[in-house]
Structure 1
Amino acid sequence: MGPLELISDGRSVKIGGPRERVVLAALALRVNRVTSFAQLMEAVWDDDPPLTARGQIQSSVSALRRLFTDCGLPEAIKTHASGYLLNLSDDDLDSERFSKLVATAHQQIAERRTADAAATLRMALSLWRGPAMDGVQSDHVARAASVLDDGRLTATEERLRLDLELGRHEELVSELLTLLTENPWRERLYGFLMLALYRCGRQTDALDVCRRARAVLANEMGIEPNQELRGLEQAILNRDPSLDSPSDAGSRGTGEHVACPRQLPSSIADFIGRDDHLAEIKRILTDEQTDAARYAVPVIAISGRGAVGKSALALRAAHELAESYLDGHIYADLRGLTGGNATSALLARFLRALGVESVLPDDLAERIEMFRSRVAGKRLLMVLDDVTSEEQVLPVLPGSPRCAVVVTSRARLAGVPGAHWIDVDTFDDATSMEMLARIVGWPRLKAEPEAAAQLVTYCGGLPLALRIAGARLASRPQWRIAELTRRLKSEVRRLDELSHRGLEVRSSIALTYRSLPEQAQRLFRLCALIKAPDFPGWTAAALLNTDLRQAEDALERLVDVQMLDTKVGEDGQLRYSVHDLIRVYAQECLTESETAEERDAALRRMLGARLALAERAHRKEFGGDYTILHGSEPRLDLAEWDTHDLIGCPMKWLDNERAALVSSVRQAAEAGMDELCWDLALTLMSLFEIKGYTDDWRETSELAHAAAVRAGNRVGIAAMLYSLGTLHMTQNHLADADHSFTSALEIFEAENNLHGQALVVRNAAFIDSTWARFGTMLARYNSALVKMRAVGDLIGEVHILTSMAKFRVDEGEFDEADRMLSGALALCGQAGYERGVTHVQTSLSELYLATGQLGLARRALNDVLRTAREIGNRVGEAHALYGLGVVRRREGRMDSAEATLAHALSVAEGVGDRILVGQARHMLGDIAIARADYATAGKHIEQAMWLFEELGMLLWQAKALILLSEVHDDAGENELMKADLEQARCLLAGIGAKQSDRLLRQLDEARSALVPESSRG
């Protein structure tokens, strides 16, 4: 949003020549989406690319990759079959940050948070440094960038509308004049300027603006101003009251009233961000009461964690309502005041403030009666701050409904009858930034935007933390913001740094902690061991080494005092989380109160529980410990837990717990728990494979592998080599997979681990099949099958039988394939592995297709597709779509086949299945040939060829060459056609399988057709 720049560590990095700048701009305009070669060539050369265009694009991308690597982003640009993808987070790209802030502003507008929305839009617009992609020499980029520029102007107009609504008309006149000079055809800007001028008392100038708008639009565009402008002109002529500023319309009288007492402390000057809460409080205390509520004193109960700004909100509301309560305002800070004597002393204070000079009765009940008699019929406002229990509130509630009470508490005081609850949460980033700006000024924040954003993150949206951080910066004008963020970076010292001249975050949290019973205090400390974003209730049972009921009681105590947050997960279960600054305090308490042995034991229980539950989820899904290895780490005993209710649907449970499970692998690695680490990482492999979570798969396997290497855990090393090899295989990095499997097999054989050998050999055989090494493949599958049967892995047998059946189908051995698939189905039933049936159905569909049973093939693939979508298996979805596309091609339904295969291609590209990408393009090329669209066919087949060659898929490479020969034949390129067929012959000659022999016979027939009859013999 401005000149194209690449910023790293606060410095601008030289991008390169004009071509590199255009390529980067084109990729950035389609961030996180594939930009095709055609689009890149159009951006660089418009409609006239040179013959070397593709090579020049690749060279430019290589140069850009080096730049991103130097900036610490080596994976920023990813290669796809059709082009490249710029992979950046929302915070890495200014246009994405802008869009995110604008979306936040729209949400705030919907929530009627006008001031917040205006501030958010200002922050979004401050990201702009000039016209989008300024200086990039490309008509294509300029056209795309114009959309960004239009979005900027639209956001500006919306911000102006909000500012007018907030009564800031005087500030806007000069800005609107400038904007209209630059954008004379934007009718909304004319309307805004007219309204701003009118509200400034400049009616004549406002009408003159309308006349100028009419002249510009008529002369330049030949149109009249729209109805909105014409209506506004008429309203200005009539001095319509609806045009008055909201601030003018809402002004109140300032008459003086004598009232006693006036005990409210002053409100803070930098109060911000609670407009909705303020409006709700004022509405409740000023609206006419219903008949039911007319005789009860209205009570506002503000709850929230320590340091979140409850007291600030209560006092601001009290001050804004002061004129409605002319008989006085009384205030008390109840922190630490408990028991009957404290209540009696508090009532004495209130009575004296209300003018009682006589001797007060000693009896508490009599003092309560005296207080209620004294305030009867009065308009009195009472603020009770930092209440800890209902017992502090109930005795001092007035009896008169003309009074009002505002209570703040860290816990929800459910025992206060009729209370209207206001739950106060932390600030969002935009509000946090605006609060800091009020303390230190926007120029200082804008000078260090990244450090300011980090500071907001460290403060966690707590107003007290933000106020302390801002005060420290304000008192040290020579400090850079980065200096304070550096100090806050260390969690060990963060609470020490968030202290300034009597303000302290730690003491606020400590007050709540000390009020808890012992069991809840211990759970609070142990929560510091949880590194996941959130956690379910059973985690507390594991940490405390107690049953679920006791753990839930302790959790609820922490929730009551806002030391834990709650939300309902996607599975409907309650989940808990700890605010970052509260977690820091919990870590301090943990270190002080628990020995290293106690901390280690609690961590092992928690991680052991997650392993035990993940293991049960796997068993429930697969019917037993199939296709998995386990280590010797002790599991937490779950005998007293209802694991059915905890797990429910196994794959959904694993998905919901994914973040916590990945965090557990990380923690186990850091703690040196190598056996638990690799066991859990391998148990998670099935989830990652089905859902396509390759980043989590890689991270957990690499962490567990490193932990096993450090500990010399050879089985763990082999298990993780197997996992990493499977990941490489899934991503079609077959050479890397083959290397990992070879290393894993050597260790499993040395350790005499038969199950590990079976798993590795099974997967290595798949690589052989891809590389058309069918003899080796069959030997390995047979060897793996024997081992699977020896260890009783029924589902491992299923996988092998279905893979071998596929080969038998390709070889034309249909009876043998049918026998194998029938056996696989029987094994799925024996294990109770329902989802495995869909795996077998995929192979059955290929058998049906090969034997001409297209209806059966279609029904089987539709079942597979439905199941894949239900569980979110994107890889399975892509394969089912591909199979359906092939079926529809065979049925002659070309349009449907093409659409289905295009969808399969898109999904396959999304999950990175390059084998399937190549096969889908091959079939799309075949359809294009059938339609005599040889140009389209050539594009698809050449891309498929490139993939097959890269992956070493000789058989498919030969198939693609045979199709390509038809394209060259149509073009009259006989030499190229002959070369295609000869190359295909060379590839097929060394395979030695029935399917390759069939293709060779077809080639011989084609060759005979090419040779003139007179030259034969």
Structure 2
Amino acid sequence: MRLRLLGPLELSVDGGELDLGGARQRIVLAMLALNANRVTPVDQLIDAVWNTSPPTTARLQVQICVSGLRKIFDDSRVTASIRTRSPGYVLEIPLESLDTEQFAALVGAARSHVSAGRESEAVATLRSALSLWQGPALAGVHSDLVQRGAAQLESARLSALTERIRLDIALSRHEEVIGELTALVEEHPLRERLYEFLILALYRSGRQAESLEVCRRARSMLVEQLGIEPGQSLLRLENAILNRDPELEIAASSRSTGAETPVEAHVVPRRLPASIADFTGRQDQLAEIKRVLGDDPDAASRYGVRIVAISGKGGVGKSTLAVRAAHELRDIYSDGHLYGDLDAPGSEPRVEAVLGRFLRALGIEGSAIPDDLEERADMYRGRLANKRVLVVLDGATSEDQVLPLLPAGPCCAVIVSSRARLSGLPGAHFIDVGVFDVEPSLEMLGKIVGPDRMIAERDAAVELVNFCGGLPLAVRIAGARLASRPHWRLDILVARLRNTVRRLDELAYRGLELRSNLGLSYRGLPADAKRLLRLFALTTTSDFPGWTAAALLDTNVFDADEVLESLVEAQLLDTVKYPGERLRFRFHDLIRVYATERLMAEESLEERTAAVQRLLGAWLARAERAHRKEYGGDFAIIHGTAPRWVPAEDELVEDDDPMEWLDRERRSLVDAVAMAAEHQMDEMCWDLALTGVTLFEVRGYFDDWRTATELALAVTERAGNNRGQAAMLYSLGTMYMAQRRLTDAERSFVAALEKFQVEGDDHGCALVLRNAATIDRLRNRPTAMRSKYHEALARMRLAGDTVGEAHVLQNLAKIAMDEGDFEAAHELLTTALARCRQVEYVRGEAQVLDRFAELKLHTNDVDEAHQALNRMLLIVRDIGDRAGEAHALYRLGVVRQRTGRLDNAATTLQHALSVARQVGDRQIEGQALYALGEIALARGDYPAGERHVDLSRQAFDELGSVVWHAKALILLSDVHQGRGERREADVHTERALELLGTVNSAEATRLLAELESPRSRC
């Protein structure tokens, strides 16, 4: 069997060609063949078939094509197969059955002949390689992506052909190649190397005038087509011909004896390390390197030496990628390949030693190599000036290491790998290598330990590669350990890796060690960067903002930023940016383990504790600042005595919107509470937790609210911190109240008030009394409610809490409304609004406007109610107050219902219902359902009306909202009356009467009066 790509795509068996099917099927096979024995992603196959406009059925059609090809391959004589391998397919084919592999093998053999001085054998081998070509590669396969692969094959063919011609000239066969070169120059008019060979062949054939004419034609073509002069190599050759330089003749005669190349001594170094057989992933980066360096060097020579700089953290596979790319580019750089390890153990700097090895590889005797660095660099650049050499510089630590090792030859190329991004390299193309996702990690592990073990323990394999954090070095070490112990189950190593303290000990095997690899990066850091890396191990969040570095180092933000950036450049910290946010930073899991080891080894307990204190103090200072900006000052909250930390320049610059900042840092704030609890910093813990309520309450983050508060309550109880316990009990009660868990809320408030009274904390008592009065209102205890509100108001004024005062005033206004005293309610609300505006507390302003709208609805001032609600809605949406938005939308729906705009009202109420459910506001949810039920009944849609009202009844029953529960029952009674269902109507009416009899309020009295004669409602 033979699969041909070097010409029209053909699959032949026993001399007969098989039908490969339609155009799409041929494109799929071509792509699989170009990536033979490697995974070709399905997305790449789709791009190949449809370019940029695939149909929605593209994946299915690719599957159909693969299925069709598999049927062709079912022939017993076909030794290839197509396997499914995430994220695509693999064409598994013997190398000897693929003409591209045969071609590559023959070219490699020719190189070996050249290195051994067997030029004649090399020419014969190259002729055999070139004879495999039956026309343009993959001719007739119409796909842009396939043709890009074909172009690379064509480039390799031309390189082999150029090398064969060079060798023919070296063997004095100049007259034999003139015709071939003339045709090639016509075909490739911008390739200076071909011009050089033709000029030299003509000159050596005694045709000096024609050779100079070719020189002029080359110059004219390059100037006309590209606007550039010929390169130095062609100019030197032209000058040598004009001067009849004897070196040209000497080179020719001596070369006939096998001594010289046509122009200069030709030593071809082949110094690349072996490429690993289980190379995995990195196909996109590999393709990018080949694209940048894989074009014909002559075409790019005008730009100077081409450089690809690969960067990434230690163990991510930079060296493996660099070496693999160099091997796949070897045919293009026919004058050799050099490899220098700049990170190998030994004295620094290593540049002199690497230059010495490079010069010896280029044929310079050791005694002729100068000691001076600059002289070595000059000699090195001179040797490569007219050559095509690929240089791999592995493990560079700085641009200063790389610059002396850059060749001067414009047809040379360089691949540099470094943990830092070497942005100072002129004209470099940068490639950042990240960690593997799970699937490439599993693929790599499977290649090492074998597919059977992977299939048998898939879950354990996934957990194992997750512990490796996507680092190929870690996966390789783990795989090597398992491969050496075939009797081990994968879950044995997984269990050992679960121990964070010993994880780096487990990731070591026979010279492969992750800890020492990470240590190279760590040891290269300045002292302050090492310290910051260690201290960052104290953080518990998945990522963190940059200002935390200042707190940990106890310095100003600007100096800390410089240290922080050095960790990023060293690839020891990753950057991450979420939409609309500033840059944040995070650890790779294994680097965090290493940093923790260094922290415990190098920082004392006192230093670690002090750093934690500063970090938490910085979080608290910023959270307090956000609360002050939101509330207009330290209102509606109390604080503890834990030390705050601010930068040396006293700068706390954050976003203007405090709620946005709090929302963005929500998880970090909860983690800060947990850190404070872990370190038994009880004052810090409860203060952080209470300040977080500023966010939790507005956005309805009840899980975070509960977590932070319960952590702080536990640590304050252990510490015997009575005031801290009171604050956390108050916070829990407020959360329960928001969730309408009235019994739990009341129990918490009673305990909190008792502790605040013991502490003599008037402000804390005021906050508790304000909320406890709300419970009394919901429990229909008007006397207790009024007493608590008035005591809370007095204590708020004593504490100077303007916002707390406004809260109480608007609640007193609600009482006045319920009693029908609208004038008093208006006066109270006017004062409350003035207090909010006095301190620019816009959320409080929105709450007062909500009460104003309710008041205007009571007095039938619908227009004024509408204006108040529009203003309220603008405010709550601007500050992101979702709970306030639910209230505003509900009242707007009621206003529109009152004015007969039922369609608009229903839409607004549905929106209110949705938002209320999102934030967990059951009261507004029930009221919106009730209003929607009224609208449906008004439209005559009795089933929908009954459904909405019954859902509202259930909500009010669960909440213990007695008056609203009774109203829902009355409306359900009306529905049954309308259908003639007298018994059901009476049941609902009797239950409503029972409920209203337990309530002492103006609204309850009014409803009872309406129900005095139930039968009159028929």
| Common topology (TM > 0.5) | yes
Aligned match of 1:523: 532
Identity %: 52
- SS state of the match for residue 750, structure 1? helix
- SS state of the match for residue 420, structure 2? coil
> Of residues 409, 412, 426 in structure 1, which corresponds to 2:418?
409
Aligned match of 2:354: 346
Distance 1:168 1:494, change over 3 A: farther
Write out per-residue CA displacement over residues 173-219 of structure 1, whole angstroms, 9 at most, x where no aligned residue: 99xxxxxxxxxxxxxxxxx9xxx9xxx99xxxxxxxxxxxxxxxxxx
> Of residues 779, 798, 802 in structure 2, which corresponds to 1:794?
802
Q: Which stretch of structure 1 is more off in the superposition, 317-326 or 656-665?
A: 656-665
Q: How does 1:272-351 map to 2 (within 5 A)?
A: 272-287=280-295, 294-335=302-343, 342-351=350-359
Alpha-carbon offset, residue 884 of structure 1: 1.2
Aligned match of 2:482: 473
Q: 1:155 and 1:734 mapped to 2: Cα distance?
A: 57
Q: 1:245 and 1:934 mapped to 2: Cα distance?
A: 63
Alpha-carbon offset, residue 976 of structure 1: 2.2
Alpha-carbon offset, residue 551 of structure 1: 0.9
Q: Is the Cα–Cα contact under 8 Å of residues 576 and 583 in structure 2 kept in the other structure?
A: yes
Aligned match of 1:160: 63
Answering whether residue 871 of structure 2 is matched by residue 968 of structure 1, we say no
Q: 2:1016 and 2:945 mapped to 1: Cα distance?
A: 25
- SS state of the match for residue 392, structure 2? strand
Q: How does 1:481-520 map to 2 (within 5 A)?
A: 481-520=490-529
Aligned match of 1:395: 404
Aligned match of 1:55: none
Q: 2:595 and 2:415 mapped to 1: Cα distance?
A: 31
Answering whether residue 278 of structure 2 is matched by residue 270 of structure 1, we say yes
Q: How does 1:109-120 map to 2 (within 5 A)?
A: 118=41
- Stretches of structure 1 that go unaligned for 5 or more consecutive residues are 1-108, 123-152, 175-191, 202-237, 1011-1017
Aligned match of 1:628: 637
> Of residues 553, 561, 571 in structure 1, which corresponds to 2:562?
553
Aligned match of 2:689: 681
Alpha-carbon offset, residue 509 of structure 1: 0.7
- SS state of the match for residue 331, structure 2? helix
User: What one-letter code is carried by the residue in structure 1 that aligns with 2:985?
Assistant: M
Q: How does 1:42-441 map to 2 (within 5 A)?
A: 118=41, 157=60, 160=63, 241-242=141-142, 246=146, 260-287=268-295, 294-335=302-343, 342-357=350-365, 359-441=368-450
Alpha-carbon offset, residue 513 of structure 1: 0.5
Q: 1:722 and 1:113 mapped to 2: Cα distance?
A: 68
Write out per-residue CA displacement over residues 484-523 of structure 1, whole angstroms, 9 at most, x where no aligned residue: 1211112111111111111111111100100111111111
Q: Is the Cα–Cα contact under 8 Å of residues 843 and 879 in structure 2 kept in the other structure?
A: no
With normalisation by structure 1, the TM-score equals: 0.75
- SS state of the match for residue 510, structure 1? helix
Q: Is the Cα–Cα contact under 8 Å of residues 300 and 406 in structure 1 kept in the other structure?
A: yes
Aligned match of 2:206: none
Distance 1:436 1:157, change over 3 A: farther
Q: Is the Cα–Cα contact under 8 Å of residues 651 and 871 in structure 1 kept in the other structure?
A: yes
Q: How does 1:753-792 map to 2 (within 5 A)?
A: 753-792=761-800
Aligned match of 1:986: 994
Q: Is the Cα–Cα contact under 8 Å of residues 669 and 677 in structure 1 kept in the other structure?
A: yes
- SS state of the match for residue 732, structure 1? coil
Alpha-carbon offset, residue 240 of structure 1: 5.6
User: What one-letter code is carried by the residue in structure 2 that aligns with 1:361?
Assistant: P
Distance 1:898 1:531, change over 3 A: same
Q: 1:956 and 1:378 mapped to 2: Cα distance?
A: 90
Q: How does 1:716-735 map to 2 (within 5 A)?
A: 716-735=724-743
State the structure with more CA Rg.
2
User: What one-letter code is carried by the residue in structure 1 that aligns with 2:339?
Assistant: Y
Q: Is the Cα–Cα contact under 8 Å of residues 571 and 656 in structure 1 kept in the other structure?
A: no
Alpha-carbon offset, residue 159 of structure 1: 6.7
Q: 1:872 and 1:173 mapped to 2: Cα distance?
A: 66
Q: How does 1:690-769 map to 2 (within 5 A)?
A: 690-769=698-777
Answering whether residue 547 of structure 2 is matched by residue 538 of structure 1, we say yes
Q: Is the Cα–Cα contact under 8 Å of residues 548 and 641 in structure 1 kept in the other structure?
A: no
The number of residues matched between the two structures is: 809
Q: Is the Cα–Cα contact under 8 Å of residues 973 and 986 in structure 2 kept in the other structure?
A: yes
- SS state of the match for residue 955, structure 1? helix
Distance 1:117 1:534, change over 3 A: farther
Q: Which stretch of structure 1 is more off in the superposition, 155-164 or 548-557?
A: 155-164
Write out per-residue CA displacement over residues 313-356 of structure 1, whole angstroms, 9 at most, x where no aligned residue: 10111000000011110101001689987322221111110011
Q: 2:466 and 2:42 mapped to 1: Cα distance?
A: 18
Aligned match of 2:174: none
- Stretches of structure 2 that go unaligned for 5 or more consecutive residues are 1-31, 46-55, 77-88, 99-137, 168-266
Q: Is the Cα–Cα contact under 8 Å of residues 570 and 656 in structure 1 kept in the other structure?
A: no
Write out per-residue CA displacement over residues 681-735 of structure 1, whole angstroms, 9 at most, x where no aligned residue: 0000110111221111111111111111111111111111111111111122222
- SS state of the match for residue 786, structure 2? helix
Write out per-residue CA displacement over residues 212-247 of structure 1, whole angstroms, 9 at most, x where no aligned residue: xxxxxxxxxxxxxxxxxxxxxxxxxx9964499959
Q: 1:649 and 1:733 mapped to 2: Cα distance?
A: 31
Distance 1:318 1:890, change over 3 A: same
Q: Is the Cα–Cα contact under 8 Å of residues 571 and 653 in structure 1 kept in the other structure?
A: no
Alpha-carbon offset, residue 525 of structure 1: 0.7
Alpha-carbon offset, residue 905 of structure 1: 1.5
Answering whether residue 787 of structure 2 is matched by residue 884 of structure 1, we say no
Alpha-carbon offset, residue 121 of structure 1: 13
Q: 1:239 and 1:395 mapped to 2: Cα distance?
A: 44
Q: 1:337 and 1:493 mapped to 2: Cα distance?
A: 26
Q: 2:145 and 2:305 mapped to 1: Cα distance?
A: 35
Write out per-residue CA displacement over residues 812-853 of structure 1, whole angstroms, 9 at most, x where no aligned residue: 221111111111111112222123211211111111222222
Aligned match of 2:927: 919
Aligned match of 1:223: none
Q: Is the Cα–Cα contact under 8 Å of residues 114 and 162 in structure 1 kept in the other structure?
A: no
With normalisation by structure 2, the TM-score equals: 0.75
Alpha-carbon offset, residue 409 of structure 1: 0.6
Alpha-carbon offset, residue 164 of structure 1: 8.5
Q: Is the Cα–Cα contact under 8 Å of residues 309 and 418 in structure 2 kept in the other structure?
A: yes
- SS state of the match for residue 384, structure 1? strand
Answering whether residue 1005 of structure 2 is matched by residue 997 of structure 1, we say yes
Answering whether residue 860 of structure 2 is matched by residue 852 of structure 1, we say yes
Distance 1:491 1:170, change over 3 A: farther
Q: 2:943 and 2:750 mapped to 1: Cα distance?
A: 43
- SS state of the match for residue 350, structure 2? helix
Alpha-carbon offset, residue 622 of structure 1: 0.8
User: What one-letter code is carried by the residue in structure 2 that aligns with 1:517?
Assistant: P
Q: 1:263 and 1:326 mapped to 2: Cα distance?
A: 13
Distance 1:340 1:454, change over 3 A: closer
Q: 1:264 and 1:871 mapped to 2: Cα distance?
A: 61
Answering whether residue 848 of structure 2 is matched by residue 840 of structure 1, we say yes
> Of residues 563, 569, 585 in structure 1, which corresponds to 2:594?
585
User: What one-letter code is carried by the residue in structure 1 that aligns with 2:608?
Assistant: R
Q: 1:969 and 1:769 mapped to 2: Cα distance?
A: 32
Q: 1:480 and 1:169 mapped to 2: Cα distance?
A: 38
Distance 1:650 1:169, change over 3 A: farther
Distance 1:529 1:163, change over 3 A: farther
Q: 1:839 and 1:620 mapped to 2: Cα distance?
A: 17
Distance 1:759 1:445, change over 3 A: farther
- SS state of the match for residue 532, structure 1? coil
> Of residues 453, 463, 468 in structure 2, which corresponds to 1:459?
468
Q: 1:419 and 1:270 mapped to 2: Cα distance?
A: 29
Q: Is the Cα–Cα contact under 8 Å of residues 699 and 919 in structure 2 kept in the other structure?
A: no
Distance 1:367 1:510, change over 3 A: same
Q: Is the Cα–Cα contact under 8 Å of residues 731 and 912 in structure 1 kept in the other structure?
A: yes
